[in-house]
Amino acid sequence: MDKTVSAFISYLHNTKKTSVNTELSYQRDLKKLQKFLAEQRITSISEITGESLSEYIDFLKENEFKAATISRNIASIKAFFGYCLKEGLIDSDPSTALKAPKIDKKLPEILTTAEVASLLEQPSGNTPKEIRDKAMLEILYATGIRVTELINLCVEDVNIRMCYIICRDPNKERVIPFGSKAKDALQNYLKNGREAMVSDSNLNLLFVNCSGGKMSRQGFWKIIKFYAGKAGINADITPHTLRHSFAAHLVENGADLRAVQEMLGHSDISTTQIYANINHNHIREVYTRAHPRG
């Protein structure tokens, strides 16, 4: 099964043009399935049945995996066996009967505008690192891009004069504006931070780590955790929290959902709709708190 999983991941990368994160997620899910099946002495794809797959899903439930995790695993399994059927490796798809569990959609964690302001004020020093950290946080909140997109930004992806960045992925690119605060932080970084940090003058990445190379997602996660602690923010903040906050604050202040969808890079407007729901909940809380008969 190892070779087939590897071939499937190569197919996703070369034909479907999926992201690295998506490929890693599929690979991780299928490795877990493979381990479970091996313990049942099932090592060949032809031996896998609908019953054995159902037993695996029951195993995940018994071990209290979250519904979202189980649903993702089912999606990975279905995609894998769809590929195997297409390639003629199996005669029938054993995953057709698998049903994803119902997922209760929770509203994403967002910061208040005061919390965001406090967070962005934390890197206030003049060292190249703090200048870089300030620019990264400002750009993340100003544009709502994903952390992977942030650490992959190249110098030529930023138009300082016109105040926009270009985000690229295998299927499309999107242009996202940013404001004066982010512009000031970026200009300061490009003038007083980046050159002092870059180890290779040929490296075109906008943001680099303290060794002068490419920053990892985990590296930036540590940065945002550090400054959240300094700001006294008790919420379980992640880089995605700023993305959610960016969208929620835009919608709260009257931004058109279609425009927010475009900036976030959502393929489906229903994904963006959740930020309108946050705003409706906020309005209801304000009403209940303030109205004499609330």
List, for residues 199-227, the tens digit of each pLDDT value: 888 899 999 999 999 998 889 999 999 99
Contact 61, 52 (CB under 8 A): no
Per the CB < 8 A criterion, the answer to whether 119 and 111 are in contact is yes
Residues 51 and 135 in one domain: no
Report yes or no on 107 lying in a domain. no
One domain, residues 164 and 242:
yes
Higher per-residue confidence, 280 vs 41: 41
What CATH number corresponds to the domain at position 63?
A: 1.10.150
User: Do 123 and 46 fall within a single domain?
Assistant: no
Q: Which of 55, 96, 50, 108 is nearest to 249 (CA)?
A: 108
Note whether 181 and 121 are same-domain residues.
Answer: yes
Range with the largest mean pLDDT of 105-109, 137-141, 240-244: 137-141
State the DSSP H helix or E strand holding residue 260, giving kind and residue range, or none if neither: helix 257-264
Same domain, 136 and 51: no
Within a domain: residue 101? Answer: no
- Kindly state the average pLDDT of the residues 174-203: 93
227 and 134 within one domain: yes
- β-pairing, 173-177 vs 158-159, is unpaired
What pTM, to 2 d.p., does this model score? 0.64
In a domain, 294, yes or no: no
CATH at 133: 1.10.443.10
287/294 Cα distance (integer angstroms): 6
Q: What is the pLDDT of residue 56?
A: 92
Domain boundary among 86, 103, 127: 86
Give the residue from 51, 86, 121 where a domain finishes: 86
> Are residue 62 and residue 200 in the same domain, yes or no?
no
- CA 286 – CA 3 distance, rounded (Å): 57
| Residue 55: φ, ψ to 5° | -65, -35
User: Of 122, 130, 251, 142, which is closest to residue 158 (Cα–Cα)?
Assistant: 142
Residue 28: Cβ within 10 Å count: 12
Task: For residue 127, tell me if it sits in a domain.
Answer: yes
pLDDT confidence of residue 218: 86
Query: Are residues 121 and 243 located together in one domain of the fold?
Result: yes
Residue 225 falls inside a structural domain: yes
3-state secondary structure of 120: helix
- 248 SS3 class: helix
Q: Can you tell me which residue has the tokens 């877990």?
A: 32
The three-point CA angle 97-101-106 to 5° equals: 155
* pLDDT tens profile 229-252: 999 998 788 888 999 999 999 998
Specify the number of domains making up the chain: 2
Q: Which domain holds residue 185?
A: 113-289
Q: State yes or no: pLDDT of 293 exceeds 70.
A: no
Asked if residue 65 and residue 121 are part of one domain, the reply reads no
If asked whether residues 16 and 155 sit together in one domain, one would say: no
**Which of these three, 49, 69, 86, is where a domain ends?**
86
Residue 106 lies in a domain: no
Beta carbons of 217 and 148 less than 8 angstroms apart: yes
- For residue 91, being part of any structural domain is answered with no
- Asked whether residue 99 is assigned to any structural domain, the reply reads no
As a whole number, mean pLDDT of residues 61-89 equals 90
